[in-house]
């Protein structure tokens, strides 16, 4: 099942704000695997890795969007996804 664009953007923003997939899942009242899959689909759609994942933390990546901080990253993702 493909997730609509706005749902994917909301999931991404919640993950970054919460600092984890499980925290975002609690906020969204869905399972953690659903949030992880939604963000992965958004990354596939954009052709860009948005989050660096490790066993200990989650970090928004700037590798593909240099000189962009989290607020600007949100706007860039939203603008690109909505076009």
**pLDDT mean over 54-77:** 67
pTM value > 0.85: no
Q: What confidence tens digit (pLDDT) does each residue in 67-78 have? A: 556 666 666 666
Question: If phi over 0 gives left and psi between -120 and 50 gives alpha, with beta otherwise, what is residue 61?
Answer: beta
Banded pLDDT at 29 (limits 50, 70, 90):
very high
**Is a pLDDT exceeding 70 seen at residue 17?**
yes
Reported in sequence order, the residue ranges of 6-65 that DSSP labels E, i.e. its strands, are 51-53, 58-60
């Amino acid at each position: 099942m493909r997730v609509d664009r706005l749902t994917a953007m909301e999931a991404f923003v919640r993950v970054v704000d919460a600092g984890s997939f499980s925290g975002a899942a609690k906020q969204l009242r869905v399972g953690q695997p659903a949030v992880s899959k939604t963000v992965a689909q958004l990354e596939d759609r954009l052709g860009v890795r948005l989050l660096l994942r490790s066993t200990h933390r989650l970090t928004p990546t700037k590798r593909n969007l240099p000189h962009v901080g989290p607020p600007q990253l949100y706007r860039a993702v939203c603008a690109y996804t909505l076009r």
